[in-house]
Amino acid sequence: MTMGHSLPSVELQRFQQVVARSVEARSHFDVFTWLQGEMQQYLPHDIMIASWGDFSNGTIQYDIISALDGVRSLSTDQQVIKPLLLDLFKRWIESGSKPVAAMAGYDGFAIEASERTTALGDAMRTMQYAMAHGISDKRDSYDCLYVTLRVKECFNESEHEVMTLALPYIDIALRQVELLPHQGQASAVISTPLIYDLLQSRGLSGREVEILQWVALGKTNPEIGKILKISEFTVKNHMQRIFKKMDVSNRAQAVGRFKAMVSNG
């Protein structure tokens, strides 16, 4: 597929219609279905990472969008993802703020070993190609970096152009979505792997912690099922076990107890 001036007018119109749907995003699930749906035709990828903050001192946040099992923002160890983002941001700056590609095994991904095994860490070991592009925010003095990764086929020049054209729309889509629990002090529910481990030590499984975070964001059982790719019935069963372990009788009490556990450490 070619883009730009060489793209047939009909196909260019189709591409513009697809990227324009970014303005309709109102939730992480909306962004997920858009990027994993029609956008795959123009920018095929297995994982997308959206990151923002002060890359000069390493104070950054991130979102992870992927259909791979367990590869989610809420259950990610920063030790796995942060070195990669800082490395690719440096390469992006050195490239003159143009899309930059990296290949695992040649220049490698800057992923440090973590004490905890994570789904993202396992997935990243299978990724072979990455492409990064960013936006510098001159008003708020922070930058955004967007990284796409996949197992097969390096990103070609046409896809570099697609990334350039689509990036403002991807940025718009994510800016319309509320922060997740681990992002920002105001909405934080879980902020570190230490807290995650603490919750598990109180009897909650990793999946139960993940579900509680989505419940804390106001998601319904059907919505959580779609996000986690499990049935609504499975979510309901998890919630019943959560209620029992936390000694509560409803969702509101579970969220209150959950936040109190995190606050008390």
Query: What letter does residue 189 receive in the DSSP assignment?
Result: S
Write out the residue limits of the CATH 3.30.450.40 domain(s) in the chain. 4-175
Question: Two tokens at 46?
Answer: 């297995």
**DSSP strands (E only) in 39-183:** 47-54, 59-66, 100-103, 129-137, 142-150
pLDDT at position 56 is 84
**DSSP β-bridge partners for residue 220:** none
Segment 160-174, tens digit of pLDDT: 999 999 999 999 998
Scored b (16 or more CB within 10 A) or e, 153-166 reads: eebeeebbbbbebb
Tokens of 65: 């969008």
Helix (H) or strand (E) holding 97: none
Class of CATH domain 193-264 = mainly alpha
Asked if the model's pLDDT at residue 20 lies above 70, the reply is yes
Taking only the tens place, the pLDDT of each residue in 97-153 is 999 999 886 544 645 544 456 777 788 888 999 999 999 877 666 799 999 999 989
pLDDT at residue 117, as a whole number: 65
What integer pLDDT is reported at residue 233 of this predicted model? 93
Q: How far apart are CA 171 and CA 41, in angstroms?
A: 19
**How buried is residue 93: exposed, middle or buried, by Cβ count under 10 Å (0-12/13-18/19+)?**
middle
Q: Where in the chain is the domain with CATH 1.10.10.10?
A: 193-264
Q: Is 184 left (phi over 0), alpha (psi -120 to 50) or beta?
A: left
Confidence class for position 237, pLDDT limits 50, 70, 90: very high
> CA 100, CA 57: separation in Å to the nearest integer?
21
- Selected from 3.30.450.40, 3.50.50.60, 3.10.20.30, 2.40.160.20, the CATH number assigned to the domain covering 4-175 reads 3.30.450.40
In terms of residues, how long is the chain?
Answer: 265
Strands 129-137 and 100-103: antiparallel
What integer pLDDT is reported at residue 12 of this predicted model? 82
Q: Would you place residue 216 in the very low, low, confident or very high pLDDT band (cuts 50, 70, 90)? A: confident
Average pLDDT, integer, range 211-239: 85
pLDDT band at 19 (very low <50, low <70, confident <90, very high): very high
Q: pLDDT tens for residues 23-63?
A: 998 888 889 999 999 899 999 999 999 998 888 878 888 88
- What ranges in the chain are assigned the alpha helix state H? 9-20, 28-36, 78-94, 119-124, 157-175, 193-201, 206-216, 221-228, 232-246, 251-264
| Calpha distance 35→48 (Å, rounded) | 9
